[in-house]
Amino acid sequence: MFVYHHRVSYAECTVGDHIYHSRYLDLLEAARGEYLRSLGRTVLELQEADYIFPVIEARLRYRAPARYDDWLAIEVRPLLVERVRLNFAHRILNQHGQLLVEAETYHCCTSRDEKPKRLPPELVEKLLPHLAK
């Protein structure tokens, strides 16, 4: 499992002092990007090699709000790595270890012209040992 950290900024919060619900998708995207970087390739490098991974579905379950200045740990782990499919599980916890959000994102691998394409073999090789059990 990979962990990405994020400090909640004032700009991400509503007047109610919690992160606006759609901002969590941005945090998940940032965490996935850093996870891929940790495996040796950035999202930009993959894109330049003609691989993109559009989100085709996202499910989020909000358990508690993240608030301004919270220090978040965003956990990322692959759930499915198969031909043109790539799914991730995410958990967001605050600095007290409280679970705030559980999420899953579902991706397909495509070329930049959005035609389905097999996952890059070197990425598959690096992801497989991290699959959720």
Question: Could you read off the pLDDT of 6-25 as tens digits, one per residue?
Answer: 999 999 999 888 999 999 99
Domain boundaries, the chain: 2-130
Beta pairing class for 85-93 and 2-7: unpaired
Q: What is the topology classification, in CATH, of domain 2-130? A: Thiol Ester Dehydrase; Chain A (3.10.129)
Read off the pTM: 0.93
Q: Indicate whether 133 pLDDT > 80.
A: no
Please name the amino acid found at residue 9: S
Q: Indicate whether 50 pLDDT > 90.
A: yes
Write out the DSSP string of 21-75.
Answer: TTHHHHHHHHHHHHHHHHTT--HHHHHHTT-B--EEEEEEEE-S---TT-EEEEE
Contact 23, 62 (CB under 8 A): no
Confidence of residue 127 (pLDDT cuts 50, 70, 90): very high
Report the C-alpha gap between 72 and 5 in whole angstroms. Answer: 5
Question: Who's near 15: CB < 8 A, 6+ residues apart?
Answer: none
Quote the pLDDT of residue 16. Answer: 83
Question: Could you read off the pLDDT of 67-114 as tens digits, one per residue?
Answer: 999 999 999 999 999 999 999 999 999 999 999 999 999 999 999 999
